[in-house]
Amino acid sequence: MSAAVPPPGSARPVLIIGTERSGSNLLRLMLDAHPAIAVPHPPHLMRYLAPLAASYGDLGVAANRTRLARDALRIVRAHLHPWPHPVDLARVVRESDASTFGVVAAIYEQYREAEDKPRWGCKSTFMVDHIDEVLRRYPDARFVWLVRDPLDVAASAKRAVFGPSMPYRMARLWLREQRCADAALARHGPAVVYLLRYEDLVTEPEGALNELCSFLGEPMHAGMLHHHLTSGARRIGALAESWRRAAQPVGADRIGAHRTGLTAAERRQVAAVAAPLARRLGYDHGSDADAAPEEVAPSMVAMALRSAGLRTVIEVRSLCRDRNYTRRLRRDATVRSLRLTAWARTRVPMELPQLRTR
């Protein structure tokens, strides 16, 4: 099946890449406040479906693509931040190409159309692993590499329901994903991948947004500076503690949050893992970054116990404070169900001949 032709005006999607807890919710709301860009809260479709792609078979076959699209819409319906617009399954199958991202793109295209905007955006930072797939379908796509001090990322993740709560593990994830984004920048150049530091965005938002809009080929819109006044910001800010700041004005008070959010040992661990890429990105952690990662790495037992302790505290706090706690459980159950079904699809055909001989 030949690749579908993106509808006029939607051939330049905007994708935020990097690592969670880097200010991507803030940037999403700022971009969504632009009259030309629609950026829904992401159900992370590629993160969940790309590893299962082989289980659907040849996506050039409409029945297989329908099964994939139906599962993608199950995730959208179970999303912990519900979308305001329905998505038509038949249209997704008809308008997608024979790839997992083709199905995802067709879903986002319908959202863009419902919002009556010419471009769509995706805030799923996990798309850092799928840049080349995006560019195959949308050669004019633009990527915003949002980077934040890894110490502050780890401090934020330590209290958040999303991502590894253990700072050492978060540091390793930060390093892997920044390396992916850095490689994409080297491969495709600054006309395709734009490096934006969280610290610049919150200390000089107008200047940072002006430069970002220039990269995107869009005029700066004043509403981007008042994202917190939108209904979308108020809605997400009320859903979960991890998103509460989304409904507040831009502020630089979270720069340096690691000073109170991490212990001295955790700062050394994160700094050692993140260096030297952190230094090249403008983050100087002084003597904390001088140790080799293996010198400060906690034992597997210590990591498991610390992670379990942090996760328990996070879940109890989320149960008490987050309005979408049950939706998160539902989303996680949906993803586990899809993984189990995918495993069964790939396993059963190999076992059937043995079953028939018994």
Could you give the C-alpha distances from 19 to 30, 148, 179, in angstroms and in order? 18, 8, 11
Ramachandran class of 322: left when φ > 0, alpha when ψ lies in -120 to 50, beta otherwise: beta
Residue 4 confidence (pLDDT) above 80: no
The reply to whether 132 falls in a domain is: yes
pLDDT tens figures, 54-113: 999 999 999 999 999 999 999 999 999 999 999 999 999 999 999 999 999 999 999 999
Spell out the SS3 assignment of the chain: CCCCCCCCCCCCCEEEEECCCCCHHHHHHHHHCCCCEECCCCCCHHHHHHHHHHHHCCCCCHHHHHHHHHHHHHHHHCCCCCCCCCCCHHHHHHHCCCCHHHHHHHHHHHHHHHHCCCEEEECCHHHHHCHHHHHHHCCCCEEEEEECCHHHHHHHHCCCCCCCCCHHHHHHHHHHHHHHHHHHHHHHCCCCEEEEEHHHHHHCHHHHHHHHHHHHCCCCCHHHHHHHHCHHHHHHHHHCHHHHHHHCCCCCCCCCCHHHHCCHHHHHHHHHHHCCHHHHCCCCCHHHHCCCHHHHCCCHHHHHHHHHHHHHHHHHHHHHHCCCHHHHHHHHHHHHHHHHHHHHHHHHHHHHHHHHHC
What CATH number should be reported for the domain holding residue 222?
Answer: 3.40.50.300
The reply to whether 2 falls in a domain is: no
Partners of 16 in beta bridges: 144
**Residue 167: domain span:** 14-352
Whole-number average pLDDT of the chain: 92
The reply to whether 45 falls in a domain is: yes
How far is Cα 99 from Cα 358, in angstroms, rounded to an integer? 38
Q: Which residue has the tokens 């995706």?
A: 122
Confidence at residue 11, expressed as pLDDT on a 0 to 100 scale: 76
pLDDT tens figures, 237-251: 999 888 888 889 999
Residue 189 confidence (pLDDT) above 50: yes
The reply to whether 191 falls in a domain is: yes
CA nearest to 117, candidates 211, 220, 13:
13
The reply to whether 357 falls in a domain is: no
The reply to whether 274 falls in a domain is: yes
CA nearest to 31, candidates 19, 14, 8, 7:
14
Confidence at residue 31, expressed as pLDDT on a 0 to 100 scale: 98
Is the separation of the CB atoms in 53 and 104 below 8 Å? no
The reply to whether 358 falls in a domain is: no
The domain tally of the chain equals 1
Residue type, 345: R
pLDDT bucket at 349, cuts 50 / 70 / 90: low
pTM assigned to the model: 0.92
The reply to whether 4 falls in a domain is: no
